[in-house]
Amino acid sequence: MPTAAGSGLPPVFTLADLERWSMKGVFLGVIGHPIGHSISPPMHNAALAAMAEEETDFGNWEYHRFDIKADQLGPALDKMHSLGFRGLNLTIPHKVEAVALLTEIDPAAEQMGAVNTLLWQPQGYKGFNTDGYGLEQALLLGLDVKIENET
């Protein structure tokens, strides 16, 4: 498995790493391309550690980064599902392309035509989109929101 020696961040995994995945535990992850800049794992793993203090079942949960190219998304999701990855976050370029690869889509995500959060279900992943909700809450809180084009 890859390492992130000296970076201060956890490793970035690839489809090749998923093909030989041997880690034990309950896994979550963020998928993008590129993804090396993401600080999601330290944030989510800190939250999981805090949750484990109250509920020990979370003690073996881990959140990882996956650099997956657009043409690898289908195989990566299939492999992650078979490995039991409980939840995934998607970023560019996968939010729109993933819709066609899911077994179920939340109605709000379907209206948006994009997903950013996937939940493991026995038959396949269910997709959600939390982007609109997050923007709405920020506006309701009166935060100064600057929207940038992700492409």
Ramachandran angles phi, psi of 91, nearest 5°:
-130, -175
In contact, 65 and 38? CB cutoff 8 Å: yes
Amino acid at 44: H
Pseudo-torsion of CA 129, 135, 141, 145, nearest 10°? 160
Based on the residue annotation, tell me whether 79 is a catalytic residue of this protein: no
Please report the sign of the dihedral spanned by the C-alpha atoms of residue 55, residue 59, residue 60, residue 63. positive
Among candidate residues 24, 69, 79, 95, the one labeled active-site is 95
- Please give the structure tokens belonging to residue 64: 């990882």
Binning the chain into helix, strand and coil, the percentages to the nearest 5 are 40, 20, 40
Q: Which residues carry out catalysis? A: 95
